[in-house]
Structure 1
Amino acid sequence: MTQSLKIDFVSDISCPWCAIGLSALEQALDKLQGEVAAELHFQPFELNPQMPPGGQDIGEHLAQKYGSTPEQQAEIRDTIRQRGADVGFSFNAGGRGRIYNTFDAHRLLHWAGLEAADRQPALKKALLVACHSHSQNMESHEVLLRAVEQAGLDVPRARAILASDEFAPEVREREAFYTRQGIHSVPAVIINDRHLISGGQPAAAFEQALRQIAAEQSAAQ
């Protein structure tokens, strides 16, 4: 009997491990077809909520935030590219020149979740590709609207949202909720509001965890 699982994927567009984690989760769910039916929701988390307009040089940002050297950053980029390749996600070989505020992207994702939930995953993936595969400016409304169009969503509606503060209170409330729940790093994958899987895990780890949760749910029915 197929088990239905609610999955809240708490993440930020600018997080490369979130792109890896989502791709791995999708691979795991493909393998679990017939065993698990996932109700997937994307929830907001901002790694850099105070990032000013225009963003920041990413090397400078990583050095300030984590104390990493250029050599360490290059090594981490190589690891991320390999982990991405393992799950079918392509990272720009040159990395990203700048890191940007992602609040508007989260507002669009919130809107998609409310008004076109079946298209929300497509929007999330289009935004991740724009950020990490193409190193685009993720505060640019033009970049965001292209992702909306690629996801098959209503571009004029999205443009109106971006021109206003619509969904800003709702996104901030959701961000605060997950912070209160103890989420301080992403991706954080929450199953049935109870089970937490942290980090950009390999597909096999997601598969094992989801199968175990589904089995426990089935036994309790």
Structure 2
Amino acid sequence: MTTLKIDIVSDIACPWCAIGYARLSRAMEELEGEMDFDIEWHAFELNPDKSGQGQPIIEALSQKYGRSPEEMEAAQADMIRIATELGLNFGKMQERYTHNTFDGHRLVKWAGEQGRQTDMKMALFDAYFGHAENIADHDVLIRCVESTGLDGNDAREVLESGQYGEAVREDETRWQNAGVSAVPAFILNGKYMIPGAQEPDTLVQALRKVAAA
């Protein structure tokens, strides 16, 4: 059976990244028995600034895109509807604050060495969009780790020691140099990029096409 390598460049703070993976999951379910998948997550920071306590998300998005808070709330409500239909918890999406995700990305790298990378990513998505938690806070990150069945004490050691920081920076640089400027981005077999959160049917067609190449 063909195994397709899928590198996913994303940020924990990106709602379309969570939606994009949920759609990819549906596509992979449809292709079960037809091909296998090797998934690897890669870091991207929408908000690389580590200073401050964060900003209310609606306010931050209004300033970033030059749109009214009402317009941003409507756009967010549309994403909540899409996410809910996919089984994601986006219950507190509009209550969240902007937060840096660098330490979360370090833990995703660490979890990957233990075969729990996707579990870690999903836990972080749930904490941020489902519970509006501060995903820069180490206690929040440790709770996410423990929810995956990994050891919280080991994770705290990673966070306090700065481990995987260089790996995250190298990851970010590599994919930016490869042309990834927005997320999510799905790179198939290291050659073909699918940008954005495409619909499951579109992904099924793309995966089949690449697998047959």
Task: Give the total of aligned pairs.
Answer: 213
Asked if structure 1 preserves the Cα contact closer than 8 Å seen for 2:14 and 2:183, the reply is yes
TM-score (norm 1): 0.92
Asked if structure 1 preserves the Cα contact closer than 8 Å seen for 2:92 and 2:132, the reply is no
Letter in 1 for 2:104: A
TM-score (norm 2): 0.95
Aligned pairs (5 A) from 1:74-85 = 74-85=73-84
Residue 189 (structure 2) pairs with residue 188 (structure 1): no
Residue 163 (structure 2) pairs with residue 166 (structure 1): yes
Cα shift readout 1:29-88 (whole Å, capped 9, x = no counterpart): 111011121100010000111242411221221122211211111111121012112322
Q: 1:209 aligns with which of 190, 206, 209?
A: 206
User: 1:18 matched to which residue of 2?
Assistant: 17
Asked if structure 2 preserves the Cα contact closer than 8 Å seen for 1:59 and 1:70, the reply is yes
Give the whole-Å Cα distance in 1 for the aligned partners of 2:184 and 2:154: 28
User: 2:147 matched to which residue of 1?
Assistant: 150
Letter in 2 for 1:27: R
Q: 1:124 aligns with which of 121, 129, 134?
A: 121
Letter in 2 for 1:127: L
Q: Secondary structure at the match of 2:9?
A: strand
Give the whole-Å Cα distance in 1 for the aligned partners of 2:104 and 2:157: 14
Cα shift readout 1:79-137 (whole Å, capped 9, x = no counterpart): 10121123221211561331101000000001112x21x21111110110111111111
Asked if structure 1 preserves the Cα contact closer than 8 Å seen for 2:142 and 2:155, the reply is yes
Asked if structure 2 preserves the Cα contact closer than 8 Å seen for 1:53 and 1:101, the reply is no
Residue 53 (structure 2) pairs with residue 54 (structure 1): yes
Cα distance change of structure 1 residues 17 and 94 upon mapping to structure 2, 3 Å threshold: closer
Unaligned runs of 5+ in 1: 217-221
Give the whole-Å Cα distance in 2 for the aligned partners of 1:70 and 1:53: 22
Asked if structure 2 preserves the Cα contact closer than 8 Å seen for 1:81 and 1:93, the reply is no
User: 1:219 matched to which residue of 2?
Assistant: none
Give the whole-Å Cα distance in 2 for the aligned partners of 1:76 and 1:126: 24
Aligned pairs (5 A) from 1:23-34 = 23-34=22-33
**Which runs of at least 4 in structure 1 moved beyond 6 Å after TM superposition?**
none
Asked if structure 1 preserves the Cα contact closer than 8 Å seen for 2:59 and 2:69, the reply is no
User: 1:105 matched to which residue of 2?
Assistant: 104
Q: Secondary structure at the match of 1:98?
A: coil
Q: Secondary structure at the match of 1:91?
A: coil
Unaligned runs of 5+ in 2: none
- The offset of 1:149, in angstroms, is 0.7
Give the whole-Å Cα distance in 2 for the aligned partners of 1:182 and 1:10: 11
